[in-house]
Structure 1
Amino acid sequence: MDLDPDLAALRPLGGFFVLRTAGAPADPPPTLAQAYAHRTEDVYADSITFRVHLVADRIHTSELRVSASIAQQALAARLWSVALGCAVLYGSVPDLDPRLLHWDAAASAPDDLWLLEVHSRAADAATVADLVVRGHLEPLNAALHARYGVAEGLLWGNAGSALAGAAREVERWARGAGTDAGTRALALAAELFTHPRLAPTGTLTGGSFRRRSCCLYYRVPGGGLCGDCCFTRNPWSSPGAVSG
């Protein structure tokens, strides 16, 4: 079916899948294109810097590369969720051009993103990868690597984890809803993992993903290992030996 102006079909999947297309303030937050292009450490003038520091405060860490990793994975998950959800429920995806997508770095899902113009794009893997990988993850990862020294392999591993997680959530919802959307989401995710940026990040087996890097969550006070982590035990006993 065609994309509706409100992308209402995404709502039953939960707030992480919802993309707001109306209700933005009269003075909307910067677009993601502006966020990726901005280069300042002024926490109040730069959306990415603000988000990294906000996450650091929320998870009680002084390591900005850790909060940068977690912030990046959350944004990657939002983008993959919207793209996968629309692809399997509508058969098309909205144009997620970063120049059209506004981002409130102080907000959480679904209030963080607004797409003020809904334009339909094809739902094939090549188009979805172009929208998410080239349009968002490449500039976002480059910015975080340059500013905070986060390893590029770690950031792409986060992207892989976020993609696998989004597909699993669609599959979980689809089982309860009695549709085949989950099967289609897993198939699309598997095809996306053939992309040169994602293929090296880990192994997707059905809905299970084992990544080849660590998101550094174990370095968060009270944190541990994620279910898809490359580690089998917490390396916190010798944190200086791990770079991610």
Structure 2
Amino acid sequence: MRFQIQYPACLLAAIQFTSCVVDAKYLPDQEPGVQELRPPVLANSAPAFEKPLQTFDTRKPPVEVEMFVMSKCPDARDCVRDLVLPVMAQLYDSGIISLRPTYIGTPDDSNAGMACKHGPDECLGDILELCAYELHKDRPQMWLGFINCMGQNYRDIPQDAHVSNCASEYGLSFEQLERCAASEDENRGMELLRSSARRAIDRGISTSCTVTINGKTVCVRDDGQWKGCTGSREDLAREVQHAYDNE
């Protein structure tokens, strides 16, 4: 496996649980912001994403949608496939939506390491997906397609064959992802994940998958159930449109 990046063992602590919620004892003294969350596979949806966001001449800034996820979490797989991806495919050309992924984990500031709920392989999967986002931020047909593809067989993350196949399917360079994931440069690799995890902690979010609109939690997928929402792509699209209309 080419993706056997050798971080010191202390950097990637494994916290093994079956659900996709970070135990509150690993977070600062904040309440986890848990409420409640829900296909086209992106391969054939790419034409809906052909225009980069910056080409739109919109009267208002786009609505900020954020998905808080873990790469080896089945709830994240369902949330991306059934909810986030279809809504992006529907609304992206309108210029009213922007999307960013944020990964949930626990930074260990004593040694610049990370603990991920489903172990070190999840930490590496998170890093690879964040690298895809950083490398192709303005082309969600690439980075969101890659994340969706990775999630369909999340148990195989971060095996080389799985990562390489998903990268190839959505036009990403496997070698670029590898360099980004292994890099010790600022804002690359481990620091991307640490920064992302701190963002989730700052917002009090510990459940994968949590979807927010302009910072407000609107939908959660937890333990195979939608919470605080119907899980309907139509409902989420209407909420995004409403947020845009009322800015």
Fold match (TM-score > 0.5): no
Q: Which has the higher helix share?
A: 1
Q: TM tier, shorter chain?
A: under 0.3
Q: TM-score, normalised by structure 2?
A: 0.27
Q: TM-score, normalised by structure 1?
A: 0.27
Structure number with greater CO (CA < 8 Å, separation at least 6) is 2
Q: Which has the higher strand share?
A: 2
